[in-house]
Amino acid sequence: MNPSLILRIPATTANLGPGFDLFGLALSLYNTIGFDFDAGADFRLVDTEGRDLPIAPEDNLIRTAYEHMYRKLGGGKAPAWNAVVDAATAPGKGFGSSAMAVVAGVHLAWAMLRSGGIDSLVSSVEEGFRPETHSDEIAGFLDLEPHPDNVVPARVGGWVFCSDTRTVLRHSLPDSLGLAILIPDYSISTEKSRQSLPLQISREDTLANMRGCLLWLEYIHSGRIDLLEQALASDRLHEPYRTPSLPGYQAMKQAVLREGCVGMTLSGSGPGIIVYFDRTRQEQLESRLRALALEHIGPATIVHFCTPDPDGLVYLKAMPGATAPLQA
């Protein structure tokens, strides 16, 4: 397979403590999808070694999103492609794998039709090109994924609050913020996780989350890490109900706070975890956080250190690490 169009889309984390179904953040942990429109393409998905991905055709969310957007914009029958996918994380970990698929498919259809076809699109893009976001795209995302806290930051980058398809509030976070991504070796269904949430909440809990959201915003504008620390500890809407069933979560949280980290939150519905810390301490924290994750979360836990991604979706000219065109 020799992809003619390559998209890099960041993994994302949602909720960020108190911002349940509101806040999302793009991460410098990247998914890359290369599309090949050669004759005979049939929406096949392969990994970077050319092996078929274990995804049934009806579960190919990139294709579903692509064909949905192509029809929605009046494009008729969408041209077929095959794709090589280099995924940042496996599905069901809480880092926006479904959002990545939706963003890739919707954006591809939108960009092709806007450019006049795949050939025109390919010839018009440069390495690192960041296409302008349009409200039609965001509306297409939300047709398939009603919670914008993952899909929108995957497209635009940064810290995001999206109130509707035309109102995207995007901010860059202070450069001093470091992040550790903890990925357990098991998955959780978002739908099943939501079933653990109460149908009603108290006034006190509502106010706690409102305070946390305002503290997040003030941290963004002031850079005061003490405000972020308070914000991350303020959730009363979802983490108290989701985390008791996660092995080692509470012990890990207490351990990272003892190490002087700013806080820890569940990533989306989990089981993935985000640890927040002062980047000036990353070198001394790395080995300690890895050891704590293996001790409390599990011996197969994957740990990545990253930062907020400022770019969102960008175009590449080659698959990362490729020394020759991929054959499959």
> CATH: 3.30.70.890, 3.30.230.10, 1.10.10.60, 3.40.50.2300. Which one for 177-197+238-306?
3.30.70.890
> Percent of the chain, pLDDT > 90?
78
pLDDT digits (tens, 9 = 90+) for 148-205: 898 999 999 999 998 776 788 999 999 999 999 999 999 887 777 777 888 999 999 9
Tell the burial category of 72 from Cβ atoms under 10 Å away from its Cβ (0-12, 13-18, 19+).
Answer: middle
In the predicted model, what is the mean pLDDT of residues 131-156?
89
Answer yes or no: are the C-beta atoms of 53 and 47 closer than 8 Å: yes
**In the prediction, which pLDDT does 327 show?**
42
Token pair listed for 99? 């959002």
> CATH: 3.40.1030.10, 3.30.230.10, 1.10.3720.10, 3.40.50.150. Which one for 5-173+309-316?
3.30.230.10
pLDDT digits (tens, 9 = 90+) for 8-51: 999 999 999 999 999 999 999 999 999 999 989 999 999 999 99
Q: Which residue has the higher pLDDT, 212 or 269?
A: 212
| pLDDT at 129 > cutoff 80 | no
DSSP assignment of 299-315 = TT-EEEEE-B-SS-SEE
pLDDT digits (tens, 9 = 90+) for 275-286: 999 999 999 999
Q: Where in the chain is the domain with CATH 3.30.70.890?
A: 177-197+238-306
Helix axes 135-144, 61-72, angle to 10 degrees: 130
In which residue are the tokens 């990362």 written?
A: 320
Tell the burial category of 225 from Cβ atoms under 10 Å away from its Cβ (0-12, 13-18, 19+).
Answer: middle
Sign of the alpha-carbon torsion through 244, 197, 233, 168: positive
**In the prediction, which pLDDT does 322 show?**
58
In which residue are the tokens 């994750």 written?
A: 293
Residue 181: in which H helix or E strand, if any? Answer: strand 177-183
The confidence band for 90, taking pLDDT boundaries of 50, 70 and 90, is: confident
CA atoms of 266 and 270, how far apart (whole Å): 6
Average pLDDT, the chain: 92
Which is it for strands 167-171 and 23-36: parallel, antiparallel or unpaired? Answer: unpaired
**In the prediction, which pLDDT does 208 show?**
97
The confidence band for 328, taking pLDDT boundaries of 50, 70 and 90, is: very low
CA atoms of 213 and 207, how far apart (whole Å): 10
The DSSP code for 278 is E
CA atoms of 162 and 248, how far apart (whole Å): 32
In the predicted model, what is the mean pLDDT of residues 214-228?
97
**In the prediction, which pLDDT does 324 show?**
44
**In the prediction, which pLDDT does 323 show?**
44
Q: Where in the chain is the domain with CATH 3.30.230.10?
A: 5-173+309-316
**In the prediction, which pLDDT does 65 show?**
97
Answer yes or no: are the C-beta atoms of 143 and 109 closer than 8 Å: no
| pLDDT at 261 > cutoff 80 | yes
In the predicted model, what is the mean pLDDT of residues 127-155?
87
- Residue among 94, 84, 109 nearest 147 (CA): 94
The Cβ-side half-sphere exposure at 23, using a 13 Å CA radius, reads: 26
**In the prediction, which pLDDT does 163 show?**
79
In the predicted model, what is the mean pLDDT of residues 67-90?
94
DSSP assignment of 113-167 = HHHTSHHHHHHH--TT--PPP-HHHHHHHHHH-S-HHHHHHHHH-SEEEEEETTE
The DSSP code for 264 is E
Q: Which residue has the higher pLDDT, 136 or 223?
A: 223
